[in-house]
Amino acid sequence: MKSTLRNGKDEMVVTPWEVMGEIDYDRLSREFGTHIITDELLQRIAKKAGYIHPLLKRGLFFSHRDLDVILDEYDHGKPFVLYTGRGPSGPVHLGHLVTWIFTKYLQDAFNAKLYFQMTDDEKFLINPKYTLTEIHNFMYENILDVIALGFNKEKTKIITDVKNIGSLYEVALKVARKVNFSTVKAVFGFKESDNIGIIFFPAIQAAPAFLESALKGRSVPCLIPAAIDQDPYWRITRDVASKLGYPKPAQIHSKFLPGLGKEGKMSSSQPETCIFTTDSPEVSEKKIMNAYTGGQATLEEQKKLGGNPDICPIFFYDYYVLLSDDKEAIQLRRKCRTGEVLCGECKKNLAEKTKRFLVQHQKKREDAKNNLTEYLLERNGF
Amino acid sequence: MKSTLRNGKDEMVVTPWEVMGEIDYDRLSREFGTHIITDELLQRIAKKAGYIHPLLKRGLFFSHRDLDVILDEYDHGKPFVLYTGRGPSGPVHLGHLVTWIFTKYLQDAFNAKLYFQMTDDEKFLINPKYTLTEIHNFMYENILDVIALGFNKEKTKIITDVKNIGSLYEVALKVARKVNFSTVKAVFGFKESDNIGIIFFPAIQAAPAFLESALKGRSVPCLIPAAIDQDPYWRITRDVASKLGYPKPAQIHSKFLPGLGKEGKMSSSQPETCIFTTDSPEVSEKKIMNAYTGGQATLEEQKKLGGNPDICPIFFYDYYVLLSDDKEAIQLRRKCRTGEVLCGECKKNLAEKTKRFLVQHQKKREDAKNNLTEYLLERNGF
């Protein structure tokens, strides 16, 4: 959906392919018709998990649809499956990991099965410059990142669309029969010049939400953790669900992930604004040291006026991506505001943490090569 | 493509889903930009086969694209694959068999591999009333009809789209990336109210034309025998072929198949106008005895003025479907014109031939149940 709300400053554009401008999340949630996660819901999740995940406490995951319904059903003995995914058109950056780390938290909390969809078909269809082989090379690398996060091997199946189309197609056809061009035009802004593959694709992205129900021949609820820009897909999916007799998939939405560019932008198309999981520690350090910050123009001004952590990618990164602990984060915010800490020092600290994370993650990525096939979907799911 | 040529009498509408009015085939061929089969081409096929097939001699197969190219390449040692298909939305009628009988003639003449596509997905997408299980029941019955015709078991693979999507999807994605909504709108008359599955479907129908090239990793030409109403698909397929580096598929086109209704109509949606392969001999006889003919209104007039075999479904049926021999056909035409033979007698003769055919065909259909799996496509083609 093209949301062209003005928030007094910049035009806000939110579609599954484009996030631009400064985002007013309350307004986005109202416009999309989602609900803000209440403290009560947060506590219900925390109770199952044994702790409140910082991404929940810090409000990165902030909105939902039917999360309450899913939790009620779970409490009445009806387990749900989790579903999330990735479009493999390039390397994974640390921002991507955040949703997946949170998904693992939910998997552990609810002992839930997870379908993780790799949309190689979508990325092939929207990138005329790539061959499928190139997309598959990205995908292989991306899968290593997913596995490296430690998802439950018995409970996680990675769907790669092209290879697993045999498992998805029948459900996708059922979805497609209920969705016409007018709808995808209105929801995604498709034009007549768009190719017929990408026009069909929303049916493929909807399919995993119903896959467990279809394979098991009984109604299995589904919860989708994803950034809120993917919400248009789920609105169509929810609309179709009732027509097909499947449960409406619930969602838990994150805000967009902060990066190292101005206004916290992080985008694979601007590689200097994001740390890729495959970056060498040295490269990551360089990117961080060159990042935009919320600090003042000069050392004197910074000491006098203090910085603004709330627009600072370095602070965001520490807070939302590397998940510094609460005490540390509160202290850093205060020190920044008062000018007690300077940007260079802050960057250096973050660079050290990032390098440590990368070294560990890259080791787990290597180990993942030995486990890869166990995570891949076979014809009949779990 | 909607062809709305007027031929002085009726509006002529030709799309893959609709054939209405009296058809001017020369004009249709000119409008579609195809070529009429020359005597030279006909003789080149006959030479390989050892005889001229009556469907070729009698002009039911009348038009082509690049048949000359395919034959030249064949003469230079480059074999081609055949590709035809069926949309399984109901029982097969004898009219359907005609294209397949001719395809078998080509298979035998050129010792060619054949991909036979069953478009269960298409039929599911365009028929909101059917479940996929219902479509699959039709499909199973239809496959028996195909096998009953005696295709070479070693050289024939039946593709069932939903089950074999794993073999088709990658090629279909390559096609889809090159075809936009504007094109399918212009060619097939798709509207915004059409579902996103049927909009994508032309890519699935194009895929088997390139399947052998894709599986073998080298250029394999393809010849498609089909009724001319399917031509719009092949125009898109040919256009895309060059963009993807596959050979443009050639076509050999039949006229529409005559039936028992007025103006030789035969349509599964008007069951009294066609003989289904599963009709009991008695039912077929009844349908034939109730058919429209080219005869006069009364016995006296028929004897005085004679009938008109060129508009008579009974004559067509004998000539194009049951393929009466040349001498017999010429004699019957003459006798009809002079009033020497009456419609009742003609119908009785045709009913006898049809009953004999059905008894034999139904026996072969039964035998086909034992051979079924050998004809079905496996993941890696032949």
Sorting pLDDT into bands at 50, 70 and 90, what band is A265? Answer: low
Domain A13-257 CATH class label? alpha beta
Q: What is the pLDDT of residues A268-314, one digit of tens each?
A: 667 788 899 999 999 999 999 998 888 988 888 988 999 998 888 89
Which secondary structure element, helix H or strand E, spans residue A177, and what is its range? helix A161-177
d(CA B39, CA B35): 12
pLDDT score, position A3:
34
Higher per-residue pLDDT: B176 or A317: B176
The CA distance from B235 to the nearest CA of chain A, in Å, is 16
CB-CB neighbors (< 8 A) of A195 in chain B: 176-181
Q: Do the chains contact at A169 and B182, CB–CB below 8 Å?
A: no
d(CA A61, CA A257): 10
Nearest CA among A303, A301, A291 for reference residue A350 = A291
CB-CB neighbors (< 8 A) of A122 in chain B: none
d(CA A231, CA A51): 27
Tell me if residue A113 falls in helix, strand or coil. Answer: strand
Q: What is the ipTM of this complex?
A: 0.90
Q: Do the chains contact at A166 and B170, CB–CB below 8 Å?
A: no
Q: Do the chains contact at B180 and A193, CB–CB below 8 Å?
A: yes
What integer is the mean pLDDT of A9-28? 59
Rg of chain B over Cα atoms, rounded to whole angstroms, equals: 21
Q: Where are the beta strands (DSSP E) in A119-221?
A: 156-160
Q: How far is CA A210 from the centre of its chain?
A: 20
Asked if the model's pLDDT at residue A2 lies above 60, the reply is no
Residue B167 CA neighbour count, 13 Å, CB half: 26
Task: Using alpha carbons, list the distances in angstroms from residue B309 to A73, A200, B261, B292, B314.
Answer: 72, 48, 14, 12, 8
Higher per-residue pLDDT: A203 or A312: A203
With a CB cutoff of 8 Å and minimum separation 6, the contacts of B43 are B52
Mutate which of A126, A129, A183, A196 to disrupt the B interface (most B C-beta within 10 Å)? Answer: A196
Place of tokens 């209440």: A38
For chain A, which residues lie within 8 Å of any Cβ of chain B, measuring from their own Cβ? 121, 124-125, 128, 132, 162-163, 165-166, 169-170, 172-174, 176-182, 184-185, 190-200, 202-203
Q: Do the chains contact at A196 and B200, CB–CB below 8 Å?
A: yes
Q: Do the chains contact at B192 and A182, CB–CB below 8 Å?
A: yes
d(CA A120, CA A251): 23
8 Å CB contact between B283 and B260: no
The CA distance from B212 to the nearest CA of chain A, in Å, is 18
CB-CB neighbors (< 8 A) of B178 in chain A: 195
The partner residue sitting opposite A193, judged by closest CB among B121, B182, B197, is: B182
CB-CB neighbors (< 8 A) of A180 in chain B: 192-196
Q: Do the chains contact at B196 and A185, CB–CB below 8 Å?
A: no
The partner residue sitting opposite A185, judged by closest CB among B176, B184, B192, is: B192
d(CA A350, CA A155): 34
Asked if the model's pLDDT at residue A4 lies above 60, the reply is no
Sort B112 into a burial class: Cβ within 10 Å, 0-12 / 13-18 / 19+.
buried
Higher per-residue pLDDT: A233 or B98: B98
d(CA A162, CA A150): 25
Asked if the model's pLDDT at residue A8 lies above 60, the reply is no
pLDDT score, position B11:
46
B156-185 burial, b if ≥16 CB within 10 A, otherwise e?
A: bbbbbbbbbbbbbbbbbbbbbbbbbbebbb
What integer is the mean pLDDT of A107-126? 98
Q: Please determine, looking at this structure, whether the domain spanning B36-257 carries the CATH number 3.40.50.300.
A: no
pLDDT score, position B20:
47
- What is the pLDDT of chain A when averaged over all its residues? 90
What integer is the mean pLDDT of A237-263? 88
Q: Do the chains contact at B132 and A173, CB–CB below 8 Å?
A: yes
Q: Do the chains contact at A196 and B184, CB–CB below 8 Å?
A: yes
Could you tell me the two tokens for A180?
A: 């016409």
Pick the residue from chain B with its C-alpha nearest to A172.
Answer: B197
Range name among A327-336, A368-377, B267-276 with the lowest pLDDT average: B267-276
Q: Do the chains contact at B177 and A166, CB–CB below 8 Å?
A: no
The CATH topology of domain A262-366 is: Tyrosyl-Transfer RNA Synthetase (1.10.240)
Domain boundaries, chain A: 13-257, 262-366
Q: pLDDT tens per residue, chain B (382 residues)?
A: 333 333 333 345 544 444 445 678 888 888 889 999 999 999 999 999 999 999 999 999 999 999 999 999 999 999 999 999 999 999 999 989 999 999 999 999 999 999 999 999 999 999 999 999 999 999 999 999 999 999 999 999 999 999 999 999 999 999 999 999 999 999 999 999 999 999 999 999 999 999 999 999 999 999 999 988 888 889 999 999 999 999 999 999 998 876 787 655 556 667 788 899 999 999 999 999 998 888 888 888 988 999 998 888 899 889 989 998 999 999 999 999 999 999 999 999 999 999 999 999 999 999 999 989 999 998 666 6
Q: Do the chains contact at A121 and B173, CB–CB below 8 Å?
A: yes
d(CA B289, CA A197): 49
Sort B237 into a burial class: Cβ within 10 Å, 0-12 / 13-18 / 19+.
buried
d(CA A236, CA B92): 37
Q: Do the chains contact at B124 and A173, CB–CB below 8 Å?
A: yes
Mutate which of B131, B136, B196, B236 to disrupt the A interface (most A C-beta within 10 Å)? Answer: B196
8 Å CB contact between B41 and B228: no
The CA distance from A165 to the nearest CA of chain B, in Å, is 6
pLDDT score, position A381:
63
Tell me if residue A174 falls in helix, strand or coil. Answer: helix
CB-CB neighbors (< 8 A) of A203 in chain B: 196-197
Nearest CA among A25, A34, A19 for reference residue A58 = A25
The partner residue sitting opposite B196, judged by closest CB among A165, A169, A180, is: A180
pLDDT score, position B247:
96
**Would you tell me the crossing angle of helices A231-244 and A181-188 to the nearest 10 degrees?**
150
Pick the residue from chain A with its C-alpha nearest to B194.
Answer: A180
Mutate which of A121, A200, A237, A243 to disrupt the B interface (most B C-beta within 10 Å)? Answer: A200
The partner residue sitting opposite B196, judged by closest CB among A128, A169, A199, is: A199
Could you tell me the two tokens for A45?
A: 């999740």
Residue B1 has a CB neighbour count (10 Å cut-off) of 17
Strand partners, B315: none
CB-CB neighbors (< 8 A) of A197 in chain B: 172-173, 176-177, 200, 203
- The pTM of this model reads 0.91
Number of Cβ pairs < 8 A linking chain A and chain B: 112
Pick the residue from chain A with its C-alpha nearest to B131.
Answer: A174
Q: Is B112 left (phi over 0), alpha (psi -120 to 50) or beta?
A: beta
Could you tell me the two tokens for A68?
A: 């309450």
CB-CB neighbors (< 8 A) of A166 in chain B: 163, 165-166
pLDDT score, position A261:
73
Nearest CA among B323, B360, B318, B352 for reference residue B335 = B318
pLDDT score, position B105:
98
Sorting pLDDT into bands at 50, 70 and 90, what band is A1? Answer: very low
d(CA A276, CA A255): 20
For chain B, which residues lie within 8 Å of any Cβ of chain A, measuring from their own Cβ? 121, 124-125, 128, 132, 162-163, 165-166, 169-170, 172-174, 176-182, 184-185, 190-200, 202-203
B199-220 burial, b if ≥16 CB within 10 A, otherwise e?
A: bbbbbbbbbbbbbbbbeeeeeb
The CA distance from A279 to the nearest CA of chain B, in Å, is 31
Q: How far is CA B273 from the centre of its chain?
A: 17
Place of tokens 């898109």: B236
Residue type at position A294: G
d(CA B315, CA B319): 6
Sort B59 into a burial class: Cβ within 10 Å, 0-12 / 13-18 / 19+.
middle
Pick the residue from chain A with its C-alpha nearest to B195.
Answer: A180
Q: Do the chains contact at B170 and A162, CB–CB below 8 Å?
A: yes
CB-CB neighbors (< 8 A) of A176 in chain B: 125, 195-198, 200
Strand partners, A19: A14
Could you tell me the two tokens for A364?
A: 């787990």
Pick the residue from chain B with its C-alpha nearest to A174.
Answer: B125
DSSP single-letter state for residue A320: I
CB-CB neighbors (< 8 A) of A194 in chain B: 180-181
Residue B26 has a CB neighbour count (10 Å cut-off) of 11
DSSP single-letter state for residue A254: E
What integer is the mean pLDDT of A152-181? 97
3 state SS for chain B: CCCCCECCCCECEEECCEEECCCCHHHHHHHHCCEECCHHHHHHHHHHHCCCCHHHHCCCEEEEECHHHHHHHHHCCCCCEEEEEECCCCCCEHHHHHHHHHHHHHHHHHCCEEEEEECHHHHHHHCCCCCHHHHHHHHHHHHHHHHHCCCCHHHEEEEEHHHHHHHHHHHHHHHHCCCEHHHHHHHHCCCCCCEHHHHHHHHHHHHHHHHHHHHHCCCCCEEEEEEHHHHHHHHHHHHHHHHHCCCCCEEEEECCCCCCCHHHCCECCEHHHCCECCCCHHHHHHHHHCCCCCCCCCHHHHHHHCCCHHHCHHHHHHHHHCCCCHHHHHHHHHHHHHCCCCHHHHHHHHHHHHHHHHHHHHHHHHHHHHHHHHHECCCCCC
With a CB cutoff of 8 Å and minimum separation 6, the contacts of B85 are B116, B117, B118, B119, B159, B205, B208, B226
DSSP single-letter state for residue A325: -
pLDDT score, position A5:
32
The partner residue sitting opposite A196, judged by closest CB among B162, B166, B180, is: B180
d(CA A73, CA A89): 36
